[in-house]
Structure 1
Amino acid sequence: MVALSNSWQVGAQKLTERERRNLANDPRNLLAVDGPANQKKSDGDAATWLPPNKDFRCRYVATQVDVKSTYNLWVTQAEKDAINRVLSTCATSEPTPFLGSTGS
Protein backbone atom coordinates (compact mmCIF):
# COMPACT_ATOMS: atom_id res chain seq x y z
CA MET A 1 0.00 0.00 0.00
CA VAL A 2 2.74 2.48 0.97
CA ALA A 3 5.47 2.05 -1.60
CA LEU A 4 8.88 1.49 -0.03
CA SER A 5 10.36 4.30 -2.10
CA ASN A 6 7.63 6.65 -0.88
CA SER A 7 8.14 5.52 2.71
CA TRP A 8 11.86 6.34 2.45
CA GLN A 9 11.00 9.83 1.16
CA VAL A 10 8.70 10.48 4.12
CA GLY A 11 10.69 9.24 7.08
CA ALA A 12 11.63 5.55 6.80
CA GLN A 13 15.29 6.50 6.56
CA LYS A 14 15.03 7.35 10.27
CA LEU A 15 13.70 3.89 11.18
CA THR A 16 15.93 1.14 12.47
CA GLU A 17 16.74 -1.74 10.15
CA ARG A 18 14.26 -3.91 12.04
CA GLU A 19 11.49 -1.28 11.75
CA ARG A 20 12.14 -0.96 8.00
CA ARG A 21 11.94 -4.74 7.63
CA ASN A 22 8.69 -4.75 9.61
CA LEU A 23 7.29 -2.01 7.36
CA ALA A 24 8.26 -3.91 4.21
CA ASN A 25 6.62 -7.10 5.48
CA ASP A 26 3.65 -5.66 7.35
CA PRO A 27 0.55 -7.54 6.10
CA ARG A 28 -1.43 -4.27 6.09
CA ASN A 29 1.11 -2.88 3.65
CA LEU A 30 1.03 -5.79 1.20
CA LEU A 31 -1.52 -6.22 -1.55
CA ALA A 32 -1.39 -8.64 -4.46
CA VAL A 33 -1.89 -6.72 -7.70
CA ASP A 34 -1.10 -7.26 -11.35
CA GLY A 35 2.12 -5.92 -12.84
CA PRO A 36 0.62 -3.09 -14.91
CA ALA A 37 -1.29 -1.67 -11.92
CA ASN A 38 1.83 -1.85 -9.77
CA GLN A 39 3.86 -0.08 -12.46
CA LYS A 40 1.28 2.70 -12.76
CA LYS A 41 1.35 3.26 -9.00
CA SER A 42 5.14 3.13 -8.81
CA ASP A 43 6.11 5.11 -5.70
CA GLY A 44 2.98 7.27 -5.81
CA ASP A 45 1.08 8.42 -2.78
CA ALA A 46 -2.61 9.30 -2.46
CA ALA A 47 -1.97 12.68 -4.12
CA THR A 48 -0.52 11.12 -7.26
CA TRP A 49 -2.24 7.74 -7.59
CA LEU A 50 -5.46 6.08 -6.45
CA PRO A 51 -6.78 2.62 -7.35
CA PRO A 52 -8.92 2.61 -10.48
CA ASN A 53 -11.57 0.70 -8.50
CA LYS A 54 -13.36 3.63 -6.84
CA ASP A 55 -15.12 1.29 -4.38
CA PHE A 56 -11.71 0.33 -2.95
CA ARG A 57 -10.31 3.84 -2.53
CA CYS A 58 -11.62 4.42 1.00
CA ARG A 59 -10.08 1.24 2.34
CA TYR A 60 -6.87 1.84 0.36
CA VAL A 61 -6.38 5.37 1.67
CA ALA A 62 -7.40 4.46 5.23
CA THR A 63 -4.84 1.65 5.20
CA GLN A 64 -2.12 3.98 3.91
CA VAL A 65 -2.86 6.37 6.75
CA ASP A 66 -2.78 3.51 9.25
CA VAL A 67 0.58 2.25 7.97
CA LYS A 68 2.14 5.72 7.83
CA SER A 69 0.90 6.47 11.32
CA THR A 70 2.20 3.17 12.71
CA TYR A 71 5.71 3.82 11.38
CA ASN A 72 5.69 7.57 12.09
CA LEU A 73 5.92 8.49 8.43
CA TRP A 74 4.71 11.89 7.36
CA VAL A 75 2.63 13.06 4.44
CA THR A 76 2.99 16.06 2.19
CA GLN A 77 0.31 18.73 2.20
CA ALA A 78 -0.86 17.53 -1.23
CA GLU A 79 -1.19 13.99 0.07
CA LYS A 80 -3.01 15.14 3.20
CA ASP A 81 -5.46 17.08 1.03
CA ALA A 82 -6.03 14.01 -1.19
CA ILE A 83 -6.49 11.77 1.84
CA ASN A 84 -9.04 14.12 3.37
CA ARG A 85 -10.85 14.41 0.04
CA VAL A 86 -11.12 10.62 -0.35
CA LEU A 87 -12.01 9.90 3.27
CA SER A 88 -14.72 12.60 3.22
CA THR A 89 -16.58 10.48 0.65
CA CYS A 90 -16.42 7.27 2.66
CA ALA A 91 -19.38 5.64 4.36
CA THR A 92 -19.46 6.18 8.09
CA SER A 93 -18.75 2.48 8.61
CA GLU A 94 -15.32 2.89 6.99
CA PRO A 95 -12.47 3.36 9.45
CA THR A 96 -11.19 6.90 9.48
CA PRO A 97 -7.74 6.75 11.02
CA PHE A 98 -6.07 9.72 12.63
CA LEU A 99 -3.90 11.67 10.25
CA GLY A 100 -1.07 13.43 12.01
CA SER A 101 0.83 16.45 10.88
CA THR A 102 2.53 16.96 7.58
CA GLY A 103 6.27 17.27 7.40
CA SER A 104 9.29 17.02 5.21
Structure 2
Amino acid sequence: MDHVVPLAEAWDSGASKWTPERREQYANDLGAERSLVAVSLGSNGAKGDKDPAEWMPPAKDATCTYATDWIAAKLRWKLTADRAEQKTLRAIAADCPDATVK
Protein backbone atom coordinates (compact mmCIF):
# COMPACT_ATOMS: atom_id res chain seq x y z
CA MET A 1 0.00 0.00 0.00
CA ASP A 2 1.12 3.51 -0.78
CA HIS A 3 0.09 6.75 0.85
CA VAL A 4 -0.80 9.27 -1.86
CA VAL A 5 1.04 11.83 0.28
CA PRO A 6 3.92 9.82 1.75
CA LEU A 7 4.45 9.78 5.50
CA ALA A 8 7.75 11.70 5.29
CA GLU A 9 6.14 14.34 3.05
CA ALA A 10 3.22 14.63 5.48
CA TRP A 11 5.71 15.04 8.33
CA ASP A 12 7.45 17.88 6.48
CA SER A 13 4.08 19.44 5.62
CA GLY A 14 2.74 19.73 9.15
CA ALA A 15 2.28 16.25 10.60
CA SER A 16 5.36 16.79 12.78
CA LYS A 17 3.14 19.01 14.95
CA TRP A 18 0.39 16.41 15.29
CA THR A 19 -0.24 14.18 18.27
CA PRO A 20 0.90 10.57 17.97
CA GLU A 21 -2.77 9.57 17.71
CA ARG A 22 -3.39 11.89 14.74
CA ARG A 23 -0.24 10.61 12.98
CA GLU A 24 -1.50 7.06 13.48
CA GLN A 25 -4.90 8.04 12.03
CA TYR A 26 -3.14 9.47 8.98
CA ALA A 27 -0.93 6.41 8.55
CA ASN A 28 -3.99 4.15 8.60
CA ASP A 29 -6.40 6.47 6.78
CA LEU A 30 -9.28 4.56 5.25
CA GLY A 31 -11.65 7.52 5.42
CA ALA A 32 -11.02 8.64 1.86
CA GLU A 33 -11.28 6.40 -1.16
CA ARG A 34 -7.78 7.12 -2.49
CA SER A 35 -5.64 8.02 0.54
CA LEU A 36 -4.04 4.59 0.41
CA VAL A 37 -3.49 3.02 -2.99
CA ALA A 38 -2.32 -0.46 -3.96
CA VAL A 39 0.80 -0.10 -6.12
CA SER A 40 3.65 -2.26 -7.31
CA LEU A 41 6.82 -2.35 -5.24
CA GLY A 42 8.76 -0.75 -8.10
CA SER A 43 6.37 2.16 -8.40
CA ASN A 44 6.36 2.75 -4.64
CA GLY A 45 10.15 2.63 -4.56
CA ALA A 46 10.48 5.10 -7.41
CA LYS A 47 8.10 7.54 -5.72
CA GLY A 48 9.56 7.22 -2.25
CA ASP A 49 8.74 10.34 -0.25
CA LYS A 50 8.75 12.67 -3.27
CA ASP A 51 6.11 15.31 -3.94
CA PRO A 52 4.64 16.07 -7.39
CA ALA A 53 7.48 18.51 -8.18
CA GLU A 54 9.87 15.55 -7.92
CA TRP A 55 7.81 12.59 -9.13
CA MET A 56 4.67 11.90 -11.12
CA PRO A 57 3.19 8.56 -12.21
CA PRO A 58 4.83 7.31 -15.39
CA ALA A 59 1.42 6.70 -17.01
CA LYS A 60 0.34 10.07 -18.44
CA ASP A 61 -3.34 9.12 -18.13
CA ALA A 62 -2.86 8.92 -14.34
CA THR A 63 -1.51 12.46 -13.95
CA CYS A 64 -4.81 14.27 -13.31
CA THR A 65 -6.09 11.60 -10.91
CA TYR A 66 -2.83 11.57 -8.97
CA ALA A 67 -2.73 15.36 -8.71
CA THR A 68 -6.34 15.64 -7.54
CA ASP A 69 -5.81 12.82 -5.03
CA TRP A 70 -2.68 14.59 -3.74
CA ILE A 71 -4.51 17.90 -3.35
CA ALA A 72 -7.48 16.22 -1.68
CA ALA A 73 -5.23 14.50 0.86
CA LYS A 74 -3.33 17.70 1.61
CA LEU A 75 -6.57 19.65 2.09
CA ARG A 76 -8.27 16.91 4.10
CA TRP A 77 -5.38 16.69 6.55
CA LYS A 78 -4.60 20.45 6.47
CA LEU A 79 -1.05 19.85 5.24
CA THR A 80 1.03 22.57 3.61
CA ALA A 81 2.54 22.62 0.12
CA ASP A 82 5.88 24.21 -0.73
CA ARG A 83 6.38 26.55 -3.72
CA ALA A 84 7.73 23.92 -6.11
CA GLU A 85 4.85 21.58 -5.26
CA GLN A 86 2.29 24.37 -5.76
CA LYS A 87 3.84 25.42 -9.08
CA THR A 88 3.80 21.84 -10.38
CA LEU A 89 0.22 21.23 -9.26
CA ARG A 90 -0.96 24.47 -10.90
CA ALA A 91 0.73 23.47 -14.17
CA ILE A 92 -0.89 20.03 -14.04
CA ALA A 93 -4.29 21.53 -13.21
CA ALA A 94 -4.14 23.63 -16.38
CA ASP A 95 -4.13 20.36 -18.36
CA CYS A 96 -6.94 18.79 -16.31
CA PRO A 97 -10.00 20.96 -16.99
CA ASP A 98 -12.47 18.21 -16.05
CA ALA A 99 -10.70 17.15 -12.84
CA THR A 100 -12.48 17.54 -9.51
CA VAL A 101 -10.82 17.45 -6.10
CA LYS A 102 -12.96 15.27 -3.83
Give the residue type in structure 1 aligned to 2:27: A
Unaligned runs of at least 5 residues, structure 2: none
In 2, Cα distance between equivalents of 1:70 and 1:56? 21
User: Which residue is 1:76 aligned to?
Assistant: 82
User: How far off its partner does 1:18 sit?
Assistant: 2.3
Deviations, residues 33-71 of structure 1 (Å, cap 9, x unaligned): 111111110000010000001111111111111111111
Aligned-residue CA RMSD in angstroms? 1.3
Residue identity (%): 33
Unaligned runs of at least 5 residues, structure 1: 98-104
Q: How many residues align?
A: 96
Verify the 8 A CA contact 2:72 2:101 in the aligned structure 1: no
TM-score (norm 2): 0.86
Q: 2:100 aligns with which of 78, 87, 95?
A: 95
Following TM superposition, the consecutive aligned residue runs of length 4 or more in structure 1 with deviations greater than 3 angstroms are: none
User: How far off its partner does 1:96 sit?
Assistant: 4.1
User: Which residue is 1:101 aligned to?
Assistant: none
Verify the 8 A CA contact 2:64 2:93 in the aligned structure 1: yes
User: Which residue is 2:8 aligned to?
Assistant: 5
In 2, Cα distance between equivalents of 1:74 and 1:6? 10
Q: 1:38 aligns with which of 33, 44, 48?
A: 44
User: How far off its partner does 1:14 sit?
Assistant: 1.1
In 2, Cα distance between equivalents of 1:25 and 1:71? 13
In 2, Cα distance between equivalents of 1:58 and 1:26? 22
